[in-house]
Chain A
């Protein structure tokens, strides 16, 4: 065999592995919306919602409950990632990377501010107020925010093709949000906080990606992602949950009640799916390129809708289906522009 055949063979291997990782990411990410939706009706979160709603009103109660759910999600993701790093033998690298605060790990902590209290909290709020399918599809808008940020921040050019993709995604976003809003406006009962949650998810993930990228390219993603979730755990368990407890919300009493088998099982399920969707996402990038990795990863929107249909029997509104299709088509238009990007993604 000559060199050319070997090169072809190697690139084939890379591409098939890369697509596999990206597809795993989409499946895990999509599945995450199942435990994310179910957890709302489980002890202690349903009781917590009811009891806080009596004194503080529905809106505040849902947000406070979402905080506790997100905090537990961060905790179980952290456990899943620690297990993963243990299997890979990366604890030492974890320590080495953590110590590089200035050049590297500070970006993960900064990213966790947007990833956690903005994106994931927003997703849980959207799941609680409006539903899993809406939450999943609303998150698909994140590439728009990400590329606009990269434009202003790194001076990254937005090509005509990318702009077209962004346009298609925005049409999708208007369909998703507008469709739901119009129906609710006519019934006179608009769940504003739920829609805000959807926007928080998209904006948060877009910003998180742009920030975390600054540290992830010079660290190992398995390690970087774990530090990103370490940051999120610090935010929830050391800052926000205690603060809410001091303000007078019964955070700890409900948090302790979460330690019952079914609730824990669902939370662990959420942690594993969410943790691994991130890991798979980053594993796909060097193999097939960030663009394709993100494009395929975005199929999570469809996966979520399919899983929600299979497990709950819910068929989402047609506006969510059509809007979601626009978003996924748009992300493919946007991400698959450079076919030679397999070797080098960034210009030299």
Chain B
């Protein structure tokens, strides 16, 4: 089901459970679901998350340094949760017709 929807819809949908997710968790899930394996796609999906956060739909709640290299070694990892505005956008846009 998720495969047929635009990536940002799917990201919002994943976060709609209200839990907090690390960016690498979201990115790797999307990479797997959409078959986008390359590093270029990884960064592109991460930029989608950044855009959703800057649009006020996700909130950056925690950061830590990627010391083990789970995502990108020595870069910051971010943990996100969906905002109320994000829930509204997700339910009036993404979930209709699911």
Contacts and interface: CB of A to CB of B under 8 A. Distances in A.
A83 interface: no
B8 to A, nearest CB: 5
Given A3-B65, A100-B6, A100-B9, A217 B55 contact: yes
B8 A343 contact: no
B54 A286 contact: yes
B93 A89 contact: no
Contacts of A344: 53-54, 56, 59
Interface residues of B, number: 38
Nearest to B90: A218
Interface string A1-29: 10100110010000000000000000000
Contact of A218 (B63, B65, B89): B89
A221 interface: yes
A347 B56 contact: yes
Contact of A96 (B5, B41, B93): B5
A285 B54 contact: yes
Contact of A103 (B7, B57, B93): B93
* Ranked 9 nearest A-B pairs via Cβ: A346-B56, A103-B93, A286-B54, A217-B55, A286-B51, A97-B6, A348-B83, A96-B6, A286-B50
29 contacts: A6-B75, A88-B44, A93-B7, A99-B4, A103-B92, A103-B94, A103-B96, A104-B6, A104-B93, A217-B51, A217-B57, A218-B9, A218-B89, A220-B7, A220-B48, A221-B51, A285-B51, A286-B47, A286-B51, A286-B55, A287-B50, A287-B54, A289-B54, A343-B54, A343-B60, A347-B56, A347-B85, A348-B83, A348-B85
Interface of B: 4-9, 12, 34, 36, 40-41, 44, 47-48, 50-57, 59-60, 63-65, 75-76, 83-85, 89, 92-94, 96-97
